[in-house]
Amino acid sequence: MTITKVEDMLETLKLLSDKSRLTILALLKESEMCVCDIVDLLETTQPNVSQHLKKLKTGGLINETKRRQWVYYSLNLEDKPYIKEILDQLPSMKDRIDSLKGQSCD
């Protein structure tokens, strides 16, 4: 493994050191989500969530797709199997996501 690879991994792992970002990734592990759903689940503000999403996107951990007025986020871990292994250890967020049923952004 090259030094560059280690440094890249270090930067990516630093993104996981924040509770909100780690929770966002755990949520996205279950399902693609829009910002408003993430805001509701984290019980925080939209600007706060947007900042975390921007860092995760810049770090290459998530993708964004625009549909109508909403932006949807999904995991992008194809080139980071070590992150997938970490996320596999996190507790399921399915119950929390299911609690949003009927409160869609649309």
pLDDT in tens, 19-76: 999 999 999 999 999 999 999 999 999 999 999 999 999 999 999 999 888 899 999 9
Domain ranges of the chain: 3-90
Q: Identify the band that residue 106 occupies on the pLDDT scale cut at 50, 70 and 90.
A: low
- Which DSSP symbol is given to 61? S
Give dist(CA 100, CA 62) in Å, integer: 21
Two structure tokens written together for 7: 């440094």
Task: Name 64's bridge partners.
Answer: 73
Q: What pTM does this model have?
A: 0.89
Phi and psi for 96 in degrees, rounded to 5?
-65, -40
Cα separation, 42 vs 32, in Å, equals 15
Work out the end-to-end distance of the chain between its first and last CA atoms, rounded to an integer number of angstroms: 45
Q: Which CATH class is domain 3-90?
A: mainly alpha
